[in-house]
């Protein structure tokens, strides 16, 4: 089964849900705003995808952070703690297919799930 991670009221997440529904792909949704996210899962994503891709530097949460917290978020040894406290900084959606991880919403990548 596919697991999609993100925040329910995000526009990009809505596109991802719609596409998965359109493709008939069954999925489990993990809302890390409500359910948090484990340190182990964050470490896995950072190890596989890289900190630069996992941290969302485009969002308002990032822009509101002071420089020290931004630095901590980009440091692999402190990033997990920061991302657990500020889950809006995790890029979304993150889709785990059992075979690979798809970061962000790319319609072509989702099409390959059929």
Which tens digit of pLDDT belongs to each residue from 46-63?
999 999 999 999 989 999
* 113: pLDDT strictly greater than 90: no
The CATH number for 104's domain is: 3.40.30.10
Residues in the chain: 114
Which entry of 10, 25, 51, 101 is annotated as an active-site residue?
Answer: 10
Query: Domain range holding 35?
Result: 2-111
Which structure tokens are listed for 22? Answer: 């359109």
Spatial strand order in the sheet of 27-31: 27-31, 2-6, 94-96, 101-103
Which structure tokens are listed for 66? Answer: 């002071």
| Strand stretches in 69-113, DSSP E | 94-96, 101-103
pTM given for the model: 0.92
Structurally, how many domains does the chain consist of?
A: 1
* 66: pLDDT strictly greater than 90: yes
Among 85, 87, 88, 90, CA closest to 101? 90
20 counts as catalytic? no
């Amino acid at each position: 089964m596919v697991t999609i991670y993100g925040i329910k009221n995000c526009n990009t997440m809505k596109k991802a849900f719609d596409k998965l529904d359109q493709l008939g792909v069954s999925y489990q949704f993990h809302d890390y705003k409500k359910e948090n996210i484990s340190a182990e899962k964050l470490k896995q994503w950072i190890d596989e995808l890289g900190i630069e891709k996992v941290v969302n530097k485009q969002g308002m949460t990032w822009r509101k952070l002071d420089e020290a917290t931004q630095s901590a978020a980009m440091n692999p040894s402190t990033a997990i703690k920061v991302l657990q406290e500020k889950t809006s900084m995790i890029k979304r959606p993150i889709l785990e297919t059992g075979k690979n991880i798809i970061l962000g919403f790319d319609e072509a990548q989702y099409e390959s799930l059929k």
